C-alpha cells in the first residue's frame, strides 16, 4: 500500500535560532494508520506536526522532503488533512457562529452550497456527540466548555473528509474524564471515516490506548518508532525506557506509606 | 542590558529614535545655530529656497528666515508635545490605577469622569479650553493634556484589572505581602509598560494638536511654531507654496519619527515569547 | 490529635448572566498534621474554588474554617497577613506564579523579608539553605525566573512556600503542567519534606495516578460537593460514587488494551 505521508531527513530551524528544532527526522504513515508522537516539551514533536501541516512560522527553514505519495501532489489544508490544537481557542474563531466554522471546510473543499454545508455541519456535530446540534449551529464558542469546544474543533477539522487528522496535544488541557471521552471519540471517528491520525502527546499511557504505532522524539531526534506493544513492552531506546520508568501509573504502589500518621 | 538590545533589534525604533534625537539636538541648539529673534527680518521677502546660501530655505512674506523659524519651531513642537504627553500619561495612569485597584463605586465614578472627557473630541476640548483662557504655552499644554489623558487611564485600569487576577499577585497575597507593596512592586511595574508604549503615540498626537491650534491662531503668538508658519503661508499658497510645505514636511517627519520610536518601545517592552514545544 | 485544618459547611455561589452557580455546596472536611488529603474532581467540580476559599483568596458566603486553633475566616486583614504564612500555596503554572521581574533570590527571600524571619545579612544564606532543601543548585540564586526550566521553577515555588515555615501547603495542580518525567521527582521531594518536617498537604488534582502516589486520603468532588472520601487505597480499589468510578475508569493505563 502506498504511504500517505513520507518524511525523509527533515530538519527544521526556526528564524533567529541557531539550533534546529528537529534534526534528520524520517518516518512514513500508512493510510488509516494511527501514529502517536511522544515527547517532552522542547523535544520537537510539535514542530514535526507543524511541518507536516505546513504551519511553520515565517522564516523557518526546512531541509529534507515531506511528500504525500498517496495523493501524488502537495496536500491542501482542510481538504487533505485537518488539525486540532491543544487550545480550542486557536481552532475556533470567537466571533463567528459554530455553524459557519464547522461548515466552512465542507463549503470550501467539497463545493457544497450553504444548505448542503449546513446539513453536513449538523451531521458532524452529531458525530462528535454534541447535544442539541440544531441550536448549537447558531451559538458561539464562548458558550461551551473546553471539552465541548474541542469536539467542535474536531468536527470542523474533519468537515471536508480529509485523509489525515493531526491532533497536537489536543487533550492536554482537559481533565482526565473529558480526555478519555475525546480519545475514544477520536479513535471511533478515524476508524469510521477511514482517516489516518497523528496524535501528539506527552502521555505515553494515552498513546498506548490509542495508537497502532508509537514514535518517540527526544531533543530534536526520533529515537524510537514501532508498533505500540513492541515499544511499550520491549523498548529499545534508553530514553523510551526512561519515559516508561518515570510514568506514574494508577496501578503503581503508592510512594507514601498507606497508614495515616 | 537585554531590554536595550531588544530595542536596537527593531529597525523602526532605531530610525524613530534617530529622527527624534536629531530634532531634539536641533531644538536644543536653536539659539546657537540661529541666534537672535527668529521673527526678525533677515532678508528680502518671499525669497525662494536654495537661492541664497545664507537663507537656505528662503524667507516668508515679511522676510523672516524660514530655516531659523523651522529650527525654533522644533522647540515649541517638542516641548509642547512631550510636556502635554507627560501630563496626560501621569494623570491618566494615576486615575486608571486608582480605579483598577479601588473597584466598586470609586471605579464607577472615575470611569464616568473618563467617559465625560472622552465624549468630547480631544481637539475640540483643547480648542474650547484655549479660547476661554489666554493662549500661553502652559495653557496650550494643559489643553492638549485634557484631551489625551483618557487613553492612558483606560489602559492603566485594564492592565491593573487583569494583573490583579494573575497567580503571582495571589502568591504575593498568600505570602503575606502588604497590599500597598503588592500594588507598588507586583502590579504597577508590570501594568505600566504598555502605557509607556502608548505615550509615544500621545506625543505624536500632541504635536499635531499644537500645530493645529497654532494654525488657527490660538497658539502662543510670541513664539514661532510650525503651525503658525503653515498658517502664515496660506496667504501666498499659490505663489510661494514652500512656506507652508516646508514646516508641513517637518511636522510629518516628526510625527512619523515619534510613532516609529513608539513601535520600538513597544517591541522592547513586550513580553518574551515562550519556547515552542 | 485534633485536626490541623477543620472546614465546616463552606458555601459559595457565583451570580452572573442571570444564572447562579453553586461552586461550593456545604463542603466539610478535615486535615491532620503530617497528612496529605487529595481533592479530586473534573473541571467545574469546585476543587480549585475550595482551594482558593481556604487560602482566603476568595470570600465564601457561609461556613467556618478552623486552622491551627484559630478562627481562620474571622481574622482581620492585618491579623491574616501575620498568620498567613502557616498556610502556603503552590500554583499550577510555574511561570505565571512569579512576578515577571523576579529572580530566584527575590522570590524566595520575599517571605523572609516580609515576616522578618532573619536579619538582612542572613537573607542570602537562608535562601541558599532553602535551595538546598528543594534540591536546586546554589548557582541558580541570581537567575531570573523566566530563565530556568519549569521543573526548577516549581521547586523555587516550593522553596518560597517553605521560607514561610508553614504548617500546611496547598498544591493546586502543582505537577500538572510539568513534564511527565519531572513529576515523579517533585512528588518524591514533597513526600520527603513531609516525612522530615511534618507538613500537611492539600493536594488538588484531576490526575488520579498522581493522587494514588502521594495522598493518604482522597475526597472526590462533583458539582460543588464532596461525594466520596476515605483512605486513598480504599476509594481507588472500591469506589462507591459514580464520579469516582468514572474518574478511575478514565485514567489511561499503560497495560490496557487499545480502544479500537
Q: What is the pLDDT of residues B189-199, one digit of tens each?
A: 888 888 888 88
User: How large is the C-alpha radius of gyration of chain A?
Assistant: 19
In this structure, CATH architecture of domain C5-250: 3-Layer(aba) Sandwich (3.40)
**In-domain check, residue B6:** no
In this structure, are residues C15 and C209 in contact, taking their beta carbons and an 8 Å threshold?
no
In this complex, the residue of B174, B190, B274 whose CB is nearest that of residue C89 is: B174
In a domain, B252, yes or no: yes
Round to whole Å and give the CA distance between A130 and A152.
Answer: 8
Residue of B226, B222, B227, B203 whose CA lies nearest to B127: B227
Nearest CA to A189 among A167, A213, A214? A167
Tell me if B157 is assigned to some domain.
yes
Cell triple for A133: 446540534
pLDDT tens-digit series, residues B70-104: 888 888 888 888 999 999 999 999 999 989 988 88
* Domain-located, residue B159: yes
pLDDT at residue B197 in the model: 82
- The whole-number average pLDDT for the span A87-99 is 87
DSSP, res C72: G
Contact B190 C100 (CB under 8 A): yes
Domain positions in chain C are 5-250
Per-residue pLDDT reduced to its tens digit, C222-245: 999 999 999 999 999 999 999 999
Per-residue CA distances from A151 to A37, A53, A125, A167, B168 (Å):
21, 20, 8, 12, 32
Q: Which of B51-65, B261-275, C153-167 has the lowest mean pLDDT?
A: B261-275
Domains and CATH numbers, chain A: 5-246 (3.40.50.300)
Interface partners of A (3+ CB pairs, < 8 Å)? B, C
Question: Chain B residue with minimal CA distance to C159?
Answer: B175
Cβ neighbours of A251 (radius 10 Å): 12
Phi and psi torsions of A8, nearest 5°: -125, 115
- Identify the residue among A41, A43, A170 best suited for mutation to test binding to B, counting B beta carbons within 10 A and taking the highest: A41
Torsion angle (degrees, nearest 10) of CA C22, B162, B270, A141: 40
Range of the domain at B190: 79-269
Q: Give residue B275's pLDDT band: very low, low, confident or very high (50, 70, 90).
A: very low
Task: Please report residues of A whose CB lies closer than 8 A to that of B276.
Answer: 14, 21, 46-47
| CB proximity under 8 Å: B 217-276 to A | 275-276
End-to-end CA distance of chain A: 61
DSSP code per residue over A58-110? TT-EEEEEEE-TTTTSPPPBTTTEEEE-SSHHHHS-TTS-HHHHHHHHHHHHH
CB contacts of C206 in chain A (<8 Å) are 175-177
Name chain C contacts of B171, Cβ cutoff 8 Å. 89, 91, 97-98, 157, 160
Given this model, what pLDDT does residue C110 score?
95
pLDDT given for residue B276 in this prediction? 30
Q: Which residues of A touch B275 (CB under 8 A)?
A: 41-42
The model's pLDDT over A136-179, given as tens digits with 9 standing for 90+, comes to 999 999 888 888 999 999 999 999 999 999 999 999 888 889 99
Rounded to the nearest angstrom, the minimum Cα separation between A20 and chain B is 12
Identify the pLDDT of residue C1. 53
Q: How many angstroms separate the CA of residue B274 from the nearest CA in chain A?
A: 11
Q: Is residue B22 part of a domain?
A: no
- Over the range B150-174, which residues count as b (16 or more CB within 10 Å of their CB) and which as e? bbbbbbbbbbbbebbebbbbbbbbb
Rounded to whole angstroms, the Cα distance separating C236 from C219 reads 11
SS3 A126: helix
In a domain, B164, yes or no: yes
Output b/e per residue, B85-112; b: 16+ Cβ within 10 A: bbbbbebbbebbbbbbbeeeeebeebbe
Spans in chain C with pLDDT lower than 50: 257-260
CATH classification at residue B171: 1.10.3720.10
A208/C252 CB distance under 8 A: yes
- Contact present, A172 and A201 (Cβ < 8 Å): yes
Chain A to chain C, count of Cβ pairs less than 8 Å apart? 131
pLDDT at B2: 61
Q: What ipTM, to 2 d.p.?
A: 0.91
Q: What pLDDT, on a 0 to 100 scale, did the predictor assign at position B271?
A: 54
Residue C136, min C-alpha distance to chain A (Å): 20
User: Has residue B235 got a pLDDT over 90?
Assistant: no
Q: In the predicted model, what is the mean pLDDT of residues A27-54?
A: 90
Least confident range of A13-17, A136-140, B147-151, C49-53: A13-17
pLDDT at C177: 87
Asked if the Cβ–Cβ distance from C213 to A252 is below 8 Å, we say yes
pTM > 0.90? no
CB pairs under 8 A between A and B: 14
Burial of B71 (0-12, 13-18, 19+ CB in 10 A): buried
- Cα–Cα distance, C18 to A136 (Å, whole number): 20
Q: CB of C226 within 8 A of CB of A177?
A: no
CB-based contact A21 B276, cutoff 8 Å: yes
Distance from CA of A124 to the nearest CA of B (A): 30
Per the CB < 8 A criterion, the answer to whether A155 and A130 are in contact is yes
**Residue B155 domain flag:** yes
Domain count for chain B, please give it. 1
Q: In a mutagenesis test of the B interface, which of C110, C117, C144 is the best target, namely the one with the most B β-carbons within 10 Å?
A: C110
**What is the secondary structure of A34-47 as a DSSP string?**
EEEEE--TTSSHHH
Residue B211 forms part of a structural domain:
yes
CA A13, distance to chain mean position in Å, is: 22
pLDDT of residue A261: 44
Q: What angle do CA B143, B149, B155 make, to 5 degrees?
A: 165
Amino acid at each position: 500500500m502506498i504511504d500517505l505521508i513520507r518524511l525523509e531527513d527533515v530538519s527544521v530551524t526556526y528564524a533567529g535560532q541557531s539550533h534546529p528544532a528537529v534534526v534528520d527526522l524520517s518516518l512514513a504513515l500508512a493510510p488509516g494508520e494511527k501514529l502517536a508522537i511522544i515527547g517532552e516539551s522542547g523535544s520537537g514533536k510539535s514542530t514535526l506536526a507543524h511541518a507536516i501541516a505546513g504551519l511553520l512560522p515565517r522564516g523557518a527553514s526546512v531541509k529534507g522532503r515531506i511528500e504525500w505519495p498517496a495523493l501524488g501532489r502537495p496536500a491542501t489544508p482542510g481538504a487533505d488533512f485537518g488539525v486540532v490544537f491543544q487550545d480550542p481557542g486557536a481552532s475556533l474563531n470567537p466571533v463567528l457562529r459554530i455553524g459557519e466554522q464547522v461548515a466552512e471546510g465542507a463549503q470550501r473543499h467539497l463545493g457544497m452550497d450553504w444548505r448542503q454545508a449546513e446539513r453536513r455541519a449538523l451531521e458532524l456535530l452529531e458525530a462528535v456527540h454534541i447535544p442539541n446540534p440544531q441550536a448549537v449551529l447558531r451559538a458561539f464558542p464562548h458558550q461551551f466548555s473546553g471539552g465541548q469546544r474541542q469536539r467542535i474543533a474536531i468536527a470542523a477539522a474533519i468537515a471536508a473528509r480529509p485523509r489525515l487528522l493531526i491532533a497536537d496535544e489536543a487533550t492536554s488541557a482537559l481533565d482526565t474524564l473529558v480526555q478519555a471521552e475525546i480519545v475514544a471519540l477520536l479513535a471511533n471517528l478515524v476508524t469510521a471515516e477511514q482517516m489516518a491520525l497523528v496524535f501528539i502527546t506527552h502521555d505515553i499511557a494515552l498513546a498506548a490506548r490509542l495508537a497502532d504505532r508509537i514514535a518517540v522524539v527526544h531533543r530534536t531526534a526520533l529515537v524510537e518508532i514501532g508498533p505500540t506493544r513492541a515499544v511499550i513492552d520491549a523498548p529499545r531506546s534508553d530514553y523510551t525506557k526512561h519515559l516508561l520508568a518515570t510514568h506514574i501509573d494508577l496501578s503503581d504502589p503508592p510512594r507514601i506509606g498507606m497508614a495515616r500518621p | 542590558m537585554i531590554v536595550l538590545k531588544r530595542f536596537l533589534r527593531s529597525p523602526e525604533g532605531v530610525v524613530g529614535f534617530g529622527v527624534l534625537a536629531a530634532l531634539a539636538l536641533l531644538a536644543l541648539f536653536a539659539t546657537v545655530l540661529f541666534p537672535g529673534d527668529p521673527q526678525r527680518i533677515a532678508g528680502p521677502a518671499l525669497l525662494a529656497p536654495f537661492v541664497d546660501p545664507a537663507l537656505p530655505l528662503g524667507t516668508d512674506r515679511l522676510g523672516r528666515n524660514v530655516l531659523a523659524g523651522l529650527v525654533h519651531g522644533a522647540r515649541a513642537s517638542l516641548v509642547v508635545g512631550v510636556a502635554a504627553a507627560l501630563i496626560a500619561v501621569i494623570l491618566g495612569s494615576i486615575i486608571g490605577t486608582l480605579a483598577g485597584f479601588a473597584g466598586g463605586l470609586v471605579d464607577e465614578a472615575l470611569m464616568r469622569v473618563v467617559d465625560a472627557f472622552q465624549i468630547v473630541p480631544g481637539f475640540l476640548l483643547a480648542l474650547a479650553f484655549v479660547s476661554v483662557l489666554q493662549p500661553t504655552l502652559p495653557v496650550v499644554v494643559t489643553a492638549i493634556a485634557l484631551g489625551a489623558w483618557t487613553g492612558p487611564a483606560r489602559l492603566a485600569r485594564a492592565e491593573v484589572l487583569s494583573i490583579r487576577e494573575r497567580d503571582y499577585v495571589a502568591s504575593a497575597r498568600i505570602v503575606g505581602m502588604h497590599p500597598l507593596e503588592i500594588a507598588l512592586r507586583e502590579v504597577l511595574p508590570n501594568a505600566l509598560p504598555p502605557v509607556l508604549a502608548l505615550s509615544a503615540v500621545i506625543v505624536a498626537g500632541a504635536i499635531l494638536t499644537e500645530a493645529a491650534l497654532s494654525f488657527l491662531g490660538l497658539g502662543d503668538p510670541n513664539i514661532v511654531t510650525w503651525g503658525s508658519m503653515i498658517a502664515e503661508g496660506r496667504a501666498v499658497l499659490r505663489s510661494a507654496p514652500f512656506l507652508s510645505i516646508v514646516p508641513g514636511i517637518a511636522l510629518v517627519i516628526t510625527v512619523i519619527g515619534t510613532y516609529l520610536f513608539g513601535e520600538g518601545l513597544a517591541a522592547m517592552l513586550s513580553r518574551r515569547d515562550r519556547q515552542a514545544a | 490529635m485534633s485536626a490541623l485544618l477543620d472546614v465546616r459547611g463552606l458555601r459559595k455561589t457565583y451570580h452572573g448572566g442571570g444564572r447562579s452557580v453553586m461552586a461550593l455546596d456545604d463542603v466539610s472536611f478535615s486535615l491532620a498534621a503530617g497528612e496529605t488529603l487529595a481533592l479530586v474532581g473534573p473541571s467545574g467540580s469546585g476543587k480549585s474554588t475550595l482551594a482558593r476559599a481556604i487560602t482566603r483568596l476568595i470570600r465564601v458566603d457561609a461556613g467556618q474554617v478552623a486552622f491551627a486553633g484559630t478562627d481562620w475566616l474571622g481574622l482581620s486583614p492585618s491579623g491574616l497577613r501575620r498568620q498567613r504564612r502557616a498556610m502556603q500555596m503552590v500554583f499550577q503554572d510555574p511561570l505565571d506564579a512569579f512576578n515577571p521581574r523576579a529572580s530566584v533570590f527575590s522570590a524566595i527571600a520575599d517571605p523572609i523579608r516580609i515576616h522578618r524571619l532573619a536579619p538582612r545579612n542572613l537573607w542570602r544564606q537562608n535562601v541558599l539553605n532553602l535551595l538546598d532543601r528543594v534540591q536546586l543548585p546554589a548557582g541558580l540564586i541570581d537567575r531570573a525566573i523566566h530563565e530556568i526550566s519549569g521543573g526548577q521553577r516549581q521547586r523555587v515555588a516550593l522553596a518560597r512556600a517553605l521560607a514561610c515555615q508553614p504548617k500546611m501547603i496547598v498544591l493546586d495542580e502543582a505537577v500538572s503542567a510539568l513534564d511527565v518525567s519531572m513529576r515523579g521527582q517533585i512528588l518524591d521531594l514533597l513526600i520527603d519534606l513531609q516525612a522530615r518536617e511534618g507538613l500537611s498537604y492539600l493536594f488538588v488534582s484531576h490526575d488520579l495516578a498522581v493522587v494514588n502516589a502521594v495522598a493518604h486520603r482522597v475526597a472526590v468532588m462533583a458539582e460543588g460537593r464532596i461525594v466520596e472520601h476515605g483512605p486513598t487505597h480504599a476509594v481507588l480499589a472500591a469506589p462507591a460514587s459514580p464520579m469516582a468510578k468514572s474518574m478511575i475508569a478514565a485514567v489511561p493505563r499503560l497495560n490496557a488494551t487499545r480502544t479500537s
